[in-house]
Amino acid sequence: CQNGGTCFDHEDIGPLCKCPVGFHGSYCEFTGKVCCTRKPCENGGWCIQEGSGFVCRCRLGYIGDRCQFSE
C-alpha cells in the first residue's frame, strides 16, 4: 500500500489496502475528488465525498468499502 495505506488480509479475497483520508485506489495511489473523477462505488452504490476522501453507501445485498461484495 502506498501513501500511508494499511494492508490487511480479507478472509475471502486476500490482501487489501485501507487508504488514509485523501487517497484512494487499490494501492492508495490516487488523490483528488474521487466521487467525481473515479466513480469508485460498485454495484449501484452511492459515493459520498468527505473532504478529499469518500464513503460508499451500498445498495441492499452488497457490502465492502466499495460495495464490491455480495452478502
Tens digit of pLDDT for each residue in 11-50? Answer: 887 899 988 877 878 888 877 676 766 788 999 999 988 7
CB 70 within 8 Å of CB 42: no
Backbone angles phi, psi at 37, to 5 degrees: -90, -35
pLDDT, residue 26, reads: 84
CA distances from 65 to 4, 18, 35 (A): 17, 9, 13
pLDDT, residue 37, reads: 67
Give the chain's domains with CATH numbers. Answer: 1-32 (2.10.25.10), 33-70 (2.10.25.10)
- pTM equals 0.51
For 35, other C-beta atoms within 10 Å of its C-beta total: 19
